[in-house]
Structure 1
Amino acid sequence: MTDKKVKVLVVDDERSLLEMLEIVLSSHGFDVFTTQDASDALRILDAENPNVIVEDIRMPGMDGLQLLRQIKDKRPLLPVIIITAYYTDQNTVEAMRLGAFDYIKKPFDIDLLRTTIERAIRHSELLSRREEQPFDTPQLVGVSPHMQDILRLVRRVAATDSTVLIVGESGTGKELIARRIHLDSPRFNQPFISLNCAAFPETLLESELFGYKKGAFTGAFADKKGLFEVADQGSLFLDEISEIPLTTQAKLLRSIEEREFIPLGDTAAKRVNVRIIAATNKNLEDEVKAGRFRKDLFYRLNVIPIEVQPLRQRRDDIPALVGHFMQKYNARFNKSVEKIEESALKRLIAYPWYGNVRELENVIQRAMTFCDGNILKNENIILQPSIQKEQFEIPESFNLEAHQEEIECGYIKEALRRAKGNLQEASALLGIPLRSLRYKINKYRIEYK
């Protein structure tokens, strides 16, 4: 963050909220401008040149989405944070497609808004400093409580120099989180080096990590720097850390503890100042028990653990991600797809996403490729059958009817929650007749409001 005061423009038709935000944000050092009128917000935008805008969606006259569209026409890289009590999946998609930086539901925690503003400013500074397209700078997208917790944790962790272990299924965005930690840290202008530990056999992995001297082995015709040395003063991201062989784990542990390493074929140690961020899609405690991972290395890495939920456990993030990817591929493919059909969005929300965010991005990219108009249609969305072996394992004392009842209850409760108790909407989400939904609610004695 620069020493110059950050200007924040807050646009909301609720006067009491504006007064509260002006007092609180000013106390945190921001230069705050407020208005209840979207047209007046455009005047302030031109006159005061704010660094970030916080705006509501529902306002009289010009609404928040129309305002967002005009702001982006004038200042494409200006971060805009949406705050609203009227959350809908389509509004989320539209806001993110138009380029909103984040989307926060009311009522919100003021610390969440403050940290989101700080993230937005850092993101904007990175874009202007690196002079690149917005999507080359990692942006964590998510409105679910889980993702908001991760964003807060990333901000706090980044300010320290502690080792971080990120755990989550493939495709959940572990490297994106690692990059965000690096860019929010004091090391942001130093190297961020990424290594997939599963991509190298043992002998090659050691030479990649620690380098080698000329003549260390057949074919070593010149000295080669290892990634520890290349990442000096920066961050080294070790993905799939569980795949490192035990012998290499011992050398890695020493390098992390002593902050030094010995290149292959050398006798002198080299000192480095590197922050280690590791990631895995396995339970390392189970790997330790099985004898495949060193206990001392696990404790050394697990200083600050970050567990990333699979996308199917945070479905509230799907509309925001869809809008984000629509914006990304509109820019990349020079298209102007403006919205997604409701039925298509419902399919995306209901899909299990065993490939997580990576799979969702691939689906949206493919859909955008074959979309001929300005609406992403159901027919453009191609979802592959997603079957996991674990689904068909039969535990002891298994009862198929009870399991089926549990699954049905779960989907019905989730549909009722999303539809805010509206049976017609809930039956549409589930793709079953209203009469069938009523029957199942009575059968399973499901309470709803």
Structure 2
Amino acid sequence: MNQENPAGRRVLVLEDDETLRLVISRALTRAGFDVRATASPASAIERMGRRDADLLVADVLLGDENFLDRLEELQHIRPDAPVLVISAQTTAATAIQAVRGGAYEYLPKPFDLDDLVEAVSRALATGERTGQQRSGTNPFPDLVGQSPAMQTAFRVLARLSQTGAPVLFTGPDGSGRASAARTLHRAGKPGKALVEAGPDRLRREGPDVFSEARGGGLLLRRAERWDAGVQDLVLEQLTTLGDTRLYVTALASVRQSLVPALFERIAVGHVEMPPLRTRGDDRLRLFEHFLKKHGRSDFSLARDAASFINAYPWPGEVAELERTAARLAVQGDRGMLGLAALQEALGAPVTPGTQTALEEAVRAFVASRLSENSQEIANDTGSIVDRAMIETVLAHCGGVRRDAAQFLGLNRNTLARRLAALGMDGGGDE
């Protein structure tokens, strides 16, 4: 751990959950810090003003109060004191508002205590505050998630909101790349227009697209589909951007499609949007969020419907999930939403685990390989089915192989061998 000697360094913990307050205090005390604690935001502000502590660890929601609303006040009275924000809130707005309000770091609950100690040590060692003073809130509700991958994306977005560098957003089609770019633009350039263009518009309008975005933001989509002419155009126009901020969306393989000079210019910052199938229970959280977004607040989901949402692979990613939720919101029956209504809204009324969808997918794949005169159909099909099956079960189990093996009906050694054979043995909790 990279840290200066913690002896004598004073940390104030602001947390209204008595058990968590005690756990955090003990962990920091064991690490050598002089720890004080309180459940009162007013007391925390007053004690920091008296210089009773060198650093504040603060929860966001404290009773009826949102501590993010007081970061500006704290920054005025103790601009030298780092603040670490911890929160169970699951939107990008929390991470962005925390960092822009002056917080040194944002840690989502649940967090590893070692990560907290490391963050405290790092903050006290550097003595820096990475945020900027800003009042008000950030209304960015569409990026929702508690999964580790989404929380990582939130933290990256928060840090990038402090810069004007070009940012590349990668991930599967429909995974929320453009939504993340719009979120970052609203955070970094509030009130400034964002111009969006795909490959076809770039071919048609050329430099006019860049002129229209002057001084605001420019979101260029599907970079993996840029032909040589579009790449030359973008590379040439990058020198004219001035204070226009550039955002680019693409598949993860985009580097193979672009000339190196262009890739290096657009990927100064990078945000990876994870596939929906790896986000665990975030699928249900997102579904409920989209129901409310599209006007359905009087709902409850039947247990089998909720299980379906977290088990279905959502090949169309977040975009498909939102479309399904929107259909239910505008045309579904009132009250309890059951599995039948969900399947009807999805447009593919097949329960996860039934044979029909899988058989049709296998037939289509085998037919495609036959048209290519492939002589490795058995191996290729088996590998694809195995990979999809194991990835889905591991995601459902949060990466815990022991639990995944139980769902698969395998022992752990057999699962380990299958993972190794598929090149998937890069780690995971036992």
TM-score, normalised relative to structure 2: 0.60
What is residue 148 of structure 1 aligned with on the other side?
A: 151
Call closer, same or farther: CA 1:103–1:348 in 2, change over 3 Å.
farther
What is residue 164 of structure 1 aligned with on the other side?
A: 167
Q: Say which SS state the counterpart of residue 144 (structure 2) adopts.
A: coil
Q: Deviations over 1:348-397 (max 9, x none)?
A: 12212121111111111212334434322112212344887995555764
Call closer, same or farther: CA 1:227–1:111 in 2, change over 3 Å.
farther
What is the deviation of 1:172? 0.9
What is residue 299 of structure 1 aligned with on the other side?
A: 264
What is residue 100 of structure 2 aligned with on the other side?
A: none
What is the deviation of 1:344? 0.8
Q: Does 1:228 align with 2:209?
A: no
What is residue 203 of structure 2 aligned with on the other side?
A: 202
Q: Does 1:399 align with 2:372?
A: no
Paired residue type of 2:17: D
Contact 1:172–1:310, Cα closer than 8 Å, also in 2: yes
Q: Deviations over 1:35-63 (max 9, x none)?
A: xxx9xx65xx3xxx54459xxxxxxxxxx
What are the residue-to-residue correspondences of 1:50-69 with 2, within 5 Å? 50-52=66-68
- Provide the rounded CA distance (Å) in 2 between the counterparts of 1:32 and 1:254: 46
Q: Does 1:82 align with 2:88?
A: yes
Q: Deviations over 1:131-166 (max 9, x none)?
A: xxx5xx454211111111111111222212221111
Q: Say which SS state the counterpart of residue 136 (structure 2) adopts.
A: helix
Q: Say which SS state the counterpart of residue 200 (structure 1) adopts.
A: helix
Q: Say which SS state the counterpart of residue 277 (structure 1) adopts.
A: strand
- Provide the rounded CA distance (Å) in 2 between the counterparts of 1:111 and 1:182: 32
What is the deviation of 1:273? 1.8
Contact 1:197–1:205, Cα closer than 8 Å, also in 2: no
Q: Deviations over 1:328-363 (max 9, x none)?
A: 23xx24x421x3222111111221212111111111
Q: Say which SS state the counterpart of residue 256 (structure 2) adopts.
A: helix
- Provide the rounded CA distance (Å) in 1 between the counterparts of 2:269 and 2:236: 19
- Provide the rounded CA distance (Å) in 1 between the counterparts of 2:55 and 2:320: 41
- Provide the rounded CA distance (Å) in 2 between the counterparts of 1:105 and 1:408: 28
Q: Say which SS state the counterpart of residue 88 (structure 2) adopts.
A: strand
Contact 2:328–2:342, Cα closer than 8 Å, also in 1: yes
Paired residue type of 1:17: V
What is the deviation of 1:285? 2.6
Paired residue type of 1:250: D
Paired residue type of 2:298: S
What is residue 176 of structure 2 aligned with on the other side?
A: 173
- Provide the rounded CA distance (Å) in 2 between the counterparts of 1:406 and 1:201: 37
Q: Does 1:105 align with 2:87?
A: no
* 320, 326, 329: which one aligns with 1:359: 320
Call closer, same or farther: CA 1:201–1:193 in 2, change over 3 Å.
closer
- Provide the rounded CA distance (Å) in 1 between the counterparts of 2:86 and 2:412: 47
Q: Which runs of 5+ in 1 are unaligned?
A: 1-7, 54-78, 84-91, 93-101, 128-133, 210-225, 261-271, 289-293, 428-436
Contact 1:166–1:308, Cα closer than 8 Å, also in 2: yes
- Provide the rounded CA distance (Å) in 1 between the counterparts of 2:283 and 2:119: 21
Paired residue type of 2:151: Q
* 254, 269, 285: which one aligns with 1:320: 285
What is the deviation of 1:420? 10
Contact 1:312–1:352, Cα closer than 8 Å, also in 2: yes
Call closer, same or farther: CA 1:110–1:391 in 2, change over 3 Å.
farther
Q: Does 1:246 align with 2:232?
A: no
What is the deviation of 1:173? 1.0
Q: Deviations over 1:249-275 (max 9, x none)?
A: 33432331x336xxxxxxxxxxx4212
TM-score, normalised relative to structure 1: 0.58
What is the deviation of 1:324? 1.9
Call closer, same or farther: CA 1:122–1:362 in 2, change over 3 Å.
farther
Q: Deviations over 1:276-305 (max 9, x none)?
A: 1111236323223xxxxx432222112223
Q: Say which SS state the counterpart of residue 381 (structure 1) adopts.
A: helix
Q: Which runs of 5+ in 2 are unaligned?
A: 1-12, 29-34, 38-43, 70-84, 91-106, 121-128, 349-356, 417-428
- Provide the rounded CA distance (Å) in 2 between the counterparts of 1:189 and 1:81: 24
- Provide the rounded CA distance (Å) in 2 between the counterparts of 1:345 and 1:112: 37
Contact 1:112–1:152, Cα closer than 8 Å, also in 2: no
Q: Deviations over 1:159-207 (max 9, x none)?
A: 122211111222111122112222333xx23514131223426232433
Call closer, same or farther: CA 1:247–1:399 in 2, change over 3 Å.
closer
What is residue 65 of structure 1 aligned with on the other side?
A: none
What is residue 98 of structure 1 aligned with on the other side?
A: none
Q: CA RMSD in A?
A: 4.7
What is residue 259 of structure 1 aligned with on the other side?
A: 240
